Amino acid sequence: MIFSKTTVFAAFFAAMALLPPPVVAQQIDPFENGWTLDAEASQLRFMSIKKDTIAETSEFATISGLINADGKAQIRVLMDSVDTNIDLRNVRMRFLFFETFKFPEATITVTLEPDALRDLHAVRRKMVPVDYLVALHGAEFASSAEVAVTLISNDRVNVSTTNPIALSLTDFNLEEGRQKLMEAAQVDIVPVGLVSFDFVFDRASPGTPPPQLATAPAGASAALETSGAFDREACLGRFEILSKAGNINFNAGSARLTADSNALLDNLYDIVSRCPDLMLEIGGHTDADGSDATNMALSERRAGAVAAWLRNKGIPAARMTVVGYGESRPLRPNDSAENKARNRRIEFTALN
């Protein structure tokens, strides 16, 4: 049988058409086009130790992030999205520990060296040392750690801790928050948090690099709680926690609220408005400096200033009772500036 050249070429190309498509080689540049965090597939966790032996792991529900084409990674965390799996524990963490009404977000910045990851397309997974910077609660702390970088596919990568990262609470001005948490929960808490993460990134499309992450707008909230009115237990727990939060401040010897009180007062208004069936006592307390009579009058005027603020926001005066306790109910001995500051406070109590 004689085949023409045309027949042979036709048979060759027909056979080639039956072969599977060639595998696209992985990119050698590990950061080509940049990467965007897949928040749904990612986790940021922290572990606290109480009573010396009990470990509790929590996480944050709302995070965003990117890796730019130079290997600089950034993660933003909305701090009031803290998730401990218990509603009132979330509230304690927000108001007493992280003070999210003043410090709504944290950032983690990591530098991934491109040269250390040039062969990632071949080895698929590498342990690499990285420098990082954490900005949290108004403070910054820089250190280094080892992370695992895993190429899941040409367009998907995982960056995770190989061991938990220990962060000292004193480096982030969180010691006072720890004291408040211990008083509220009546347990000892170790002054170190153990942080771990598992971040998944997707490669950005060519010509559309990931945008810079925007800071959280004022008043932004990602708190994990029910919408609408709270039930009685949730209301009572929140009033108790707000009473321990501090951050309602006045000018010295005055009942004039300072501007830095507004953040917590806004949260107070939100809670009071979502507990519409409860009558509220607003109690003022002072330290022991000055006479009993002066402190009694000052504490009542300060409690009245908070009630007036709430009235101006629309809370009916009939729902509030103002009481001044002066120096009669100290939380601590009035023997130091720190203790006196804790004794100067506004407390909230449900009356029905």
pLDDT at 287: 93
Cα–Cα nearest to 238, from 219, 264, 209, 199: 264
How is residue 239 written in tokens? 């009033």
Tell me which amino acid residue 198 is.
D
Strands 280-285 and 320-324: parallel
CATH architecture of 232-350: 2-Layer Sandwich (3.30)
Q: Which one is predicted more confidently, 283 or 34?
A: 283
pLDDT at 214: 61
User: What value does the mean pLDDT take over residues 186-198?
Assistant: 94
pLDDT at 12: 47
Q: What is the mean pLDDT of the chain?
A: 89
Contact 243, 348 (CB under 8 A): yes
pLDDT at 211: 65
DSSP 250: B
Q: Which one is predicted more confidently, 156 or 209?
A: 156
Contact 38, 200 (CB under 8 A): yes
Distance CA 95, CA 347 (A): 14
Q: Which residues contact 56 (CB under 8 A, 6 or more apart)?
A: 47, 48, 49, 50, 84
- Output the CA–CA distances (angstroms, integers) from residue 97 to 48, 120, 180, 200, 249, in the order listed: 12, 40, 7, 28, 18
Residues of the chain with pLDDT > 90, as a percent, come to 72
What digits encode the pLDDT tens for the residues 229-286?
999 999 999 999 999 999 999 998 899 999 999 999 999 999 999 999 999 999 999 9
- The domain ranges of the chain are 35-203, 232-350
Q: Which residues contact 60 (CB under 8 A, 6 or more apart)?
A: 44, 77, 78, 79, 81, 82, 83
Sign of CA dihedral 166, 171, 174, 179: positive
pLDDT band, residue 215 (cuts 50/70/90): low
What digits encode the pLDDT tens for the residues 94-117?
999 999 999 999 999 998 888 888
User: What value does the mean pLDDT take over residues 12-19?
Assistant: 50
pLDDT at 25: 43
Q: How many CB atoms lie within 10 A of CB 173?
A: 14
Exposure of 68 by Cβ count < 10 A (0-12 exposed, 13-18 middle, 19+ buried)? Answer: middle
Contact 313, 269 (CB under 8 A): yes
CATH architecture of 35-203: Beta Barrel (2.40)
Strand extents, DSSP E, 97-191: 105-111, 125-136, 139-153, 156-161, 165-168
What digits encode the pLDDT tens for the residues 128-143?
999 999 999 999 999 9
Q: Is pLDDT of 23 > 80?
A: no
What digits encode the pLDDT tens for the residues 61-99?
999 999 988 889 999 999 999 999 999 999 999 999 999
Cα 208–Cα 109–Cα 128 angle in degrees, nearest 5: 95
User: What value does the mean pLDDT take over residues 215-237?
Assistant: 81
Cα–Cα nearest to 176, from 195, 193, 194, 191: 191
